Amino acid sequence: MLQGSLIIIAFIIIAALMMTKKIPTLLALPLMAVVICIIAGVPAVGVDADGNAVGWLQTVVEAGTVRMGSAIMAVIFGAWLGQLMNKTGVTENIIKKSAELGGDRPLVVTLIMVVACALLFTTLSGLGSIIMVGSIALPILISVGVPAMSAACIFLMAFNTGLTFNIANWRTFSSIFNLDISQIQSFEIYMVVATLIATLILVFVEFKKNGVKFAFSAPAKETAAEQPSKQLTGVRGVLAMFTPIVPIILVAVFSVPVCPAFIAGIIWILLFTGKSFSKAMNQLVKTCYDGITDAGPAVILMIGIGILYLAVTHPMVTEVLNPFLLAVIPTSRVGYIIFFSVLAPLALYRGPMNLFGLGSGIAALVIGLGSLTPLAVMGAFLAAERIQGCGDPTNTQNVWTANFVEVDVNGITKKLLPYLWAIAIIGVVLSAFLYF
């Protein structure tokens, strides 16, 4: 019992250090893994009676660095495709041509921006892409009369909608829950619908509250109709703008693995934007380097997730922690709904429901108990992930967006939390009836 209590205390202390930004998440996760192993009595180096390695340096730190290998590669290839979309003008053209469709009707422009941004972020990832899309979409929204705070929230909710169907994230979740990517996809379909509906409700509420007219003659079209720096025209240009959905169709419809799907997207965009073979090859190489740089923070974070995952699933650690978890994890459907609905906001600040923070380890522990199926655990944590996606004030996308439109980042969280929490509750209820 003493060891279990000390591990819980260590969780709380390191979580508090992350929340107060005393230590970064990329350091906190492996640190927590090592501390947990030491408290549980796992030797640094050692072998069992059969000669198998059991030390935490071998089975946790060394093995953990590659535990999320497939997810890491998916993030890198996705970032590579995202860089190509940015550098060839595909991202810019999708946003600006979408704005042109809305003309001088603020509500139509806003709704089209939501759809365009959501579509883009099914493929794009990383702060670079957030900046690229946001620096175009946010001025368009503000120019048609949407207040800065409302524009920031609408943009982030649109981002969160697309993120639900981001196949690089599917690969990550597949690794965390040890489930097939098709099982992740089947639940995320419900989540993308719920998030989109909540985003639309947010748009209508903000328009009504702020007195933004549904249609008026405004100079917004001058901004929306500005010529992109890289104009895509003709049939090739139109086909190039289909790039974001190419990997999704391949994965969701034809069950193509994630990395080959991204490679197909890379080939597709080069075919329809390349001016010559040599220029296409030069751009391919440069965007590869830029994509790896863009993916760097996520890659380091995933290494930490892999290390923490193997720490909490180490037999000596689970033996210590299982009694605690058995006492608190619900075993009835109603208890499941109440427990995970109430705790969903703990996805904020890399908390215990955050799959890119402490949640990756907690999820593994809960699955290890056997009292809930892996699918039920997946549903609960992916529901809570909706809150983290665009509600966490420590997210780089939230910080950049708030700074760009000059609003308080915590104000964004305050405005979005009711919508995000409602989505999370819907997800938990759906999960309870689908998987419990």
pLDDT tens-place string over residues 295-351: 888 889 889 888 988 998 888 988 888 887 888 889 899 999 999 999 999 998 777
Identify the residue whose tokens are 């190509």.
Answer: 84
Structure-block tokens of residue 236: 């090739």
C-alpha 3 chain-centroid distance: 34
d(CA 115, CA 221): 19
Runs of H (alpha helix) within 88-105: 90-102
**What pTM, to 2 d.p., does this model score?**
0.84
Residue 337: strand, helix, or coil: helix
Select from 39, 33, 31, 30 the least CA-distant residue to 3. Answer: 39
Q: Is the pLDDT of residue 119 over 50?
A: yes
Percent of the chain with pLDDT over 90: 55
What kind and span of H or E run contains 289?
A: helix 277-312
**Range of 12-21, 88-97, 128-137, 193-202 with top mean pLDDT:** 193-202
| Percent of the chain residues past pLDDT 70, beyond the cut | 95
Count other Cβ atoms within 10 Å, centred on residue 213. Answer: 12
Q: Token digits for 262?
A: 């991204």
Angle at 119 between CA 113 and CA 120, to 5 degrees: 90
Helix, coil or strand: residue 55: coil
pLDDT at 259 over 60: yes
The residue behind tokens 């990550």 is 172
227: pLDDT strictly greater than 70: no
Angle 145-214-416 from CA coordinates, rounded to 5°: 65
Is the confidence at residue 1, as pLDDT, over 90?
A: no
What is the distance between the alpha carbons of residues 305 and 25, in angstroms, rounded to a whole number? Answer: 10
Look at 46-50, 188-192, 348-352 and tell me which has the smallest mean pLDDT: 348-352
Residue found by looking up tokens 């938990």 in the block: 428
Query: Minimum mean pLDDT among 101-105, 340-344, 370-374: which range?
Result: 101-105
pLDDT for the residue 213: 61
* Residues in CB range of 96: below 8 A, 6 or more apart: 136, 140, 224, 225, 226, 228
> What is the distance between the alpha carbons of residues 37 and 24, in angstroms, rounded to a whole number?
20
Structure tokens, 141: 């929204």
DSSP 8-state symbol, 227: P
Residue 229: the pLDDT is: 58
The H or E element containing residue 307 is helix 277-312
Which tokens hold the place of 387? 């809150």
pLDDT average, residue stretch 49-77: 91
- Residue 132 tokens read as 């690229």
Non-local (6+) Cβ contacts of 288 within 8 A are: 80, 83
> Is residue 232's pLDDT more than 90?
no
Answer for the pair 349, 18: CB distance below 8 angstroms, yes or no. yes
Cβ-Cβ contacts under 8 Å for 104 (sequence gap 6 or more): 144, 215, 216, 217, 218, 220, 221
Q: What is the pLDDT of residue 216?
A: 44
When pLDDT is cut at 50, 70 and 90, the band that residue 135 belongs to is confident
Highest mean pLDDT among 3-12, 140-149, 183-192: 183-192
